[in-house]
Amino acid sequence: MKKSRTELLSKFIIFIFLISLIYTLYYLNKDSVSKYTGEEKQISGIITNYEETSYGYRLTINGKENILVRVYEKIKFNLGDKIDVKGTLSVPNRNTNFYLFNYQNYLKSENIYWIMDSEKIKIRAGNKKIYDLKNNLIKHLNKFAASSYLKAFIIGDDSEISEEVTDSYRLNGISHLLAISGMQVTFLSAILLFIFNLISKRKGLNYLILLMFLIFYTFLTSFSPPIIRGVSLFILLTIKKFINIKVKTVYLLILTASIYLFYNPFIIYNIGFLFSFIISFYLLLFTNDISKIKGYIKKTFIISFICFLASLPILIINFHYINLLSPFINIIFVPLVTFIIYPLSLITAFIPALDNPFLNMCELLEDLSLFFSKFDNLIITLKHIDLVIFLIYYLLITLVIYNFFKQKYKLLILFFIVLIIHHNINYFDKNSYITFLDVQQGDSIFLKLPYNKGNILIDTGGKAPYGDYSYDYASNVIIPYLKAEGITALDYLIITHGDYDHMGESLNLVKNFKVRKVIFNHDGYNTLEKNLLEVLKNKNIKYTKNIQKINISNNTLYFLNNKIYDNENDNSNVIYMVINQKKLLLMGDAGKEVEKEILKKYNLKNIDILKVGHHGSNTSTSKSFVKEISPRYAVISVGENNVYGHPHKSVLKNLKNVIIYQTSKNGSIKFKIKHKLKIETVT
């Protein structure tokens, strides 16, 4: 009878999980309902979280619901303070480029639907004692030289660890060790329970006190998904122990995930949630097999390898690379963090004299991570996958692990063959693509030729710095997009001309991505171009200028504008190509004088894709030019609500018989160039 009840309960939990997935899919596809209209000019709430930024602070305040407030001044405040903010509410930026991080969805996973840019702030001291405890803990930890790591390991705040080091942790596949997770919850619970049992023999009371502390601990860690998972699972395991229900822990984990999804379906967009639950699921699913492994090093490696496999599809879909060295690196880092650094962090918080030894251990951790991150030959790029391939990967991973413990290794070999094919998938793609990336008020165009025989980037975009803040399009848009396309190197970087909005990110690009050759336009080098030249020379990257054409993979790119004008825009490279009998004309920022000159020299008719000159300014795209080339599609690379008023009404009027796409409205625009053009936009 007990066995049948257990089976029934297990099946019921699976049923609940399936319902939670259906509910999540339904909820994600319906319009979000906020308690704010967006018209409010003042909001009030309690500061629940904050992060210092280059421009001031980023606050999370809880009013009718959570709102992110950007504060452009240095002010004094504490968690729990009541705050009145005057400003303008705006919807968080959605993702406007294919495959990249969606800030809007991420904030929804934090129950945030609006951002307010503050104009005036009034802070009133709060009276919530629970926040005073957290404020005092933060003040205490800030006194230590190793405060950044103490806050990471104790309250889950790793924002003060340098970006270079954080990137190395991610590259090495060990960033999960910095995140407070079930491992730390289990370790902390064991210590506390041991202490409570020494004080009192009443086990029920001891567990109750421990559960109350763990619930409070989720507050201290800002309710991070891994901690909620660990604490929730611990609560369910405690209930199971006291009422003697014989159900496997993996089912309790599934129930925890189901409850979480019912509470907040958008949590599915949180990478920490996915890592925490999926990796834990696989470790629990094969816990009996893992327990039979003899030898600590061997067991650690097998656990690390399972974690690596379980995290792989998440890494592909979010970061588009994996580190094959990761399972081996974890053999070093897991015991170092688990048995030395994390316990030492707890002790150091109470014994300040251990601050320097703890700092030395953290610096050792950093040095090792930076060292291993240099082995980038073992970091392989993997093209973006859709949901179906994502699920197929997990089906294959499950079978691989299952057969591995049966000492059958054929599927494991097959799995690595699949990875090799995935890594080289572009060599099997016979199609050509041209993608107009959304880099706001700038140009960046990626041309991908068949069978990976030609990868060309035309311009990089660039946002001029504003105060201490500038947005890095190379690191945040261009390079992630190239990796998502499975691209590991550019054959050509073509700079149409030397304006910041066309080449401002070129320095960041060539420093952080492999570029074989750079092509400049035909006039003299300006300051930006000279700065780029220095980097090219240092990195031994070839460059040239004033060329007529380039031949690549049986395709020819013609450079039509070779006349010298008295301004940078008109000296733009104008590029013409024919791919699969489709004619493409990219005008850079060339103006009407250039258009006239080109029409005199070349017979351009029935252009299929026109990249409109100068972001739709009325200095370009004359009526006679449009009539002569007769484009079918026109793409305008332009920033939303830009100060220049682009695209100009006269240009849109001249293009009235043309199908127009704008990056400001459509986001990134991709043309699949076959005998028929297939067009895809982000929005």
Spatial contact of 432 and 448, defined as CB atoms under 8 Å apart: yes
Comparing 69-78, 140-149, 173-182, 273-282, the range with the smallest average pLDDT is 173-182
How far apart (Å, rounded) are the C-alpha atoms in residues 557 and 551? Answer: 7
Rg over alpha carbons for the chain, rounded to the nearest Å, is 28
Burial class (CB in 10 A: 0-12, 13-18, 19+), 128: middle
Q: Say what the pLDDT of residue 470 is.
A: 60
Strands 609-611 and 582-586: parallel
Nearest of 553, 550, 380, 555 to residue 451 by alpha carbon = 553
The fold adopted by the segment(s) 427-681 is: Metallo-beta-lactamase; Chain A (3.60.15)
Helix, strand, or coil here: 301? helix
Q: Tell me the residue type at 567.
A: N
Helix, strand, or coil here: 656? coil
Q: What is the DSSP string of 218-277?
A: HHHTTT-HHHHHHHHHHHHHHHHHHHT----HHHHHHHHHHHHHHH-GGGGG-HHHHHHH
Please list the residue range(s) of the chain that carry CATH number 3.60.15.10. 427-681
Confidence of residue 468 (pLDDT cuts 50, 70, 90): very low
Question: Over the chain, what is the mean pLDDT?
Answer: 92
Tokens 């308690």 locate to 35
**Residues 6+ positions from 13 with CB-CB distance below 8 Å:** 247, 251, 252, 254, 255, 258
DSSP bridge pairs for 379: 323
Model confidence pLDDT, tens digit, residues 124-133: 876 678 898 9
Q: Tell me the residue type at 165.
A: V
Spatial contact of 327 and 297, defined as CB atoms under 8 Å apart: no
**Residues 6+ positions from 618 with CB-CB distance below 8 Å:** 648, 650, 651
How far apart (Å, rounded) are the C-alpha atoms in residues 206 and 217? Answer: 16
Strands 633-636 and 659-662: parallel
Is residue 467 scored above 70 in pLDDT? Answer: no
Please list the residue range(s) of the chain that carry CATH number 2.40.50.140. 42-126
Where in 281-356 does DSSP place strands (E)?
Answer: 321-323
Spatial contact of 478 and 435, defined as CB atoms under 8 Å apart: no
Comparing 173-177, 346-350, 409-413, 598-602, the range with the smallest average pLDDT is 173-177
Q: What percentage of the chain has pLDDT greater than the value 90?
A: 74
Model confidence pLDDT, tens digit, residues 172-182: 988 888 777 76
Q: Say what the pLDDT of residue 3 is.
A: 59
Q: What's this model's pTM, rounded to 2 decimal places?
A: 0.91
Model confidence pLDDT, tens digit, residues 530-567: 999 999 999 999 999 999 999 998 899 999 999 999 99
How far apart (Å, rounded) are the C-alpha atoms in residues 64 and 217? Answer: 24
How far apart (Å, rounded) are the C-alpha atoms in residues 5 and 366? Answer: 50
How many C-beta neighbours within 10 Å does residue 538 have? 10
Cα distances from 586 to residues 54, 405, 514, 560, 566, in angstroms, run 37, 56, 24, 10, 21
Helix, strand, or coil here: 44? strand
How far apart (Å, rounded) are the C-alpha atoms in residues 32 and 113? Answer: 8
- CATH 3.40.640.10 is the classification of domain 42-126: no
Q: Give ∠ CA 144-150-156 in degrees, rounded to 5.
A: 145
Q: Say what the pLDDT of residue 127 is.
A: 66
Helices (H), 444-526: 473, 479-484, 500-503, 506-512
Q: Say what the pLDDT of residue 222 is.
A: 87
Spatial contact of 400 and 419, defined as CB atoms under 8 Å apart: no
User: What angle do helix axes 203-220 and 129-142 make, rounded to 10 degrees?
Assistant: 70
DSSP bridge pairs for 432: 673
Region 346-358: what's the mean pLDDT? 95
DSSP class of residue 466 equals: B
Burial class (CB in 10 A: 0-12, 13-18, 19+), 199: exposed
Give the chain's end-to-end CA distance (angstroms, integer): 55
DSSP bridge pairs for 673: 432, 677
Q: Which helix (H) or strand (E) holds 410?
A: helix 410-423
Spatial contact of 112 and 106, defined as CB atoms under 8 Å apart: no
How far apart (Å, rounded) are the C-alpha atoms in residues 310 and 275? Answer: 8
Per residue in 285-298, is it b (16+ CB within 10 Å) or e — as a string?
bbeeeeeeeeeeee
Model confidence pLDDT, tens digit, residues 583-638: 999 999 999 999 999 999 999 999 999 999 999 999 999 999 999 999 999 999 99
DSSP bridge pairs for 549: 558
Q: Could you check whether the bond before residue 647 is cis, i.e. omega within 30 degrees of 0?
A: yes
Is residue 1 scored above 50 in pLDDT? Answer: no
Region 400-424: what's the mean pLDDT? 95
Q: Extract the tokens encoding 593.
A: 């004088």
